[in-house]
A and B are shown apart, each in its own frame.
Chain A
Amino acid sequence: MKKISFLFIYILVTISFSCSGPTITDDLLDGEVVFDPSLYNPEQFLVSAKYPIPTPADLNKHIILAVHGYTATTFEWQEFQDWSVTPSYRISQVLLGGHGRDYNAFKNSTWEDWRSSITSEYEKLIALGYTRISLVGSSTGGTLLLELVNSGYFNNHLHPKNIFLVDPIVVPSNKLQTLVGIIGPMIVYVETDQTAAENNYWYRFRPYETINELNNVMSIVRKGLENGMTLPSGTYLKVFHSLHDPVASTTSSVLIYKGLKTSSGSKIEVQLIYSDIHVFTRLNLRTKVTLLQKNNQLDVFNQIANKLN
């Protein structure tokens, strides 16, 4: 009888908490007023939209798809876009599915939805005739790119020239993230501590369902790495990771190094960055930026650009 009572109380508590969502105001990306600008102005962000009928000169350019992380938007790679003045490559800033919209759109999205924006733009570029395409992913963006390698997506599509990963997440630094599968229905969502300015570009509230999705795709990639993954032929890959990343454990890059090989069986490249911020290539809206952080950012931008030129 006691056991039934405890079960009943647990279900009651879970249901009552599940009914309570966060209080979302119009100044948040989570609301229904602020959206990622790529949704209503895609030609400013996607190469396929900006050049729907590319000339031979356009097709000769190297295209790099820049993929942001969990809860973020195209803003995460805007600094790379602003920094890149070279005419030899173009950046296509992808907005992940379910992101940059509102809380409910995010809550109802799966990691496959997030990934679909990457494959959609990649396939549009191939269909338009581009032959030199590279990819850069930060945080979950990197995880999704690894999932594409693991799933064999590139077996049937043009092989990317380069893949760059910045603070990819395969193992979380936040120790409570692995518990969300159990306590998720009770906590419903997690609120992030971010500034008012950042509220325009990152969801403030993280529905537990999406944290589960993140854990799921991380688990798939981690198992793939445990079993061994191979890059498509001709693809170069380099990982950059903050030494004390507070979100994506740096152990993630150890696992990538151990589990991912080039098509010829060689090791991939990893560079640890003396930093304790997550996605160290994004410095805009940080409360305090040091010279070291600026140099770290420029180092990575230069390395990527040199590979594309």
Chain B
Amino acid sequence: MKTTLIFLVIFCTSIANAQTLEVGLRVQKTQEMYWENGVSAQFSFAKFKPEQFFLGLDYVTSRLGTAYQSNAIKQDSYLLSGSWLFNKNKPYHIVTRFNMGYFYSDLEEDMFAAIPNTSFLVSPEVGLKYNFKKMPISLNLGVGFYIITAKEGYSPGTLQPLYYHLDLYYSILKTRKK
């Protein structure tokens, strides 16, 4: 809850200075592990590399994926990201992104309290983004890799490194350049 509030404060402060604000849905699959879906938002600043540098906030959870109505582990990932878009004047862009965040898996029972279930997240990503010309919609396809440095047996088991995601963004704010 505390983590969610911190993320919301950062989000609200940042959009006040936003040139572009995109919000959308994320569908994510981890290699040999869960579907984790959620929401994604990103914005660029009018005074710093508009349309090229984006700050983003993402939340994905297995509660909206594999763990929905199943016995899979319920887990949440909160991410803060910085993205750099290449080909900024074209409808399609190569995207490089760096994420930092926090992972939590709910093991539910007291007897499992000693099992590692949280982790800080760091992951580089590459992807492709396509902006539809006549609609305020864009698609972003990315592949990322969580850098997990914990000793084997000391990090959450269902946190695995390689993941793919597809984001569908809707631009709710796009300030014209002056």
A residues contacting B by CB (< 8 A) are: 171-179, 181-182, 215, 219, 225-228, 242-247, 249-252, 254-255, 257-259, 270, 272, 276
Contact = CB atoms under 8 A, between A and B. Distances in A.
Interface stretch (B9-17, B89-97, B152-160): B152-160
18 contacts: A171-B158, A173-B152, A173-B157, A174-B152, A175-B160, A178-B31, A178-B32, A181-B32, A182-B31, A227-B70, A246-B152, A249-B157, A249-B158, A254-B108, A254-B115, A257-B112, A258-B108, A259-B71
Q: How large is the interface on B (under 10, 10 to 19, 20 to 34, 35 or more residues)?
A: 20 to 34
Contacts of A247: 152-153
Contacts, number: 88
A178 B157 CA distance: 11
Nearest to B67: A226
Contacts of B8: none
B173 interface: no
Contacts of B71: 225-228, 255, 258-259
Contacts of A228: 71
A251 B31 contact: no
Smallest CB-CB A-B distances: 3 pairs: A251-B157, A249-B157, A178-B32
B32 A215 contact: yes
A173 B111 CA distance: 20
Given A227-B70, A250-B115, A272-B114, 14 more contacts: A173-B152, A175-B161, A182-B31, A226-B72, A227-B71, A243-B115, A244-B116, A246-B151, A249-B157, A252-B157, A254-B107, A254-B109, A258-B71, A272-B112
A250 B114 CA distance: 10
A226 B31 contact: no
Contacts of A252: 157
Contacts of A215: 32
Contacts of A246: 151-153
B161 A244 contact: no
A251 B158 contact: yes
Q: Looking at chain B's contact residues, is the secondary structure mostly helix, strand, loop, or mixed?
A: loop
Nearest to B149: A175
A292 to B, nearest CB: 15
A11 B153 CA distance: 35
A249 B148 contact: no
B33 interface: yes
From B31, B32, B116, B156, residue with most partner A Cβ within 10 Å? B32
Contacts of B52: none
Contacts of A171: 33, 157-158
Interface in B29-47: 30-33
Nearest to B146: A175
A257 B109 contact: yes
A268 to B, nearest CB: 12
Nearest to B32: A178
B158 A226 contact: no
B31 A272 contact: no
A244 B152 CA distance: 8
A19 B72 CA distance: 39
A254 B153 contact: no
A244 B156 CA distance: 10
A172 B155 CA distance: 11
Contacts of B109: 254, 257
Contacts of B161: 175-176, 178-179
B148 A178 contact: no
Interface string B98-139: 000000010111011011100000000000000000000000
Contacts of A174: 152
Contacts of B151: 246
B64 to A, nearest CB: 15
B141 interface: no
A176 B32 CA distance: 11
Nearest to B117: A251
B52 to A, nearest CB: 25
Contacts of B160: 175, 178
B31 A179 contact: yes
B73 A255 contact: yes
B118 to A, nearest CB: 12
Contacts of A227: 70-71
Contacts of A270: 111
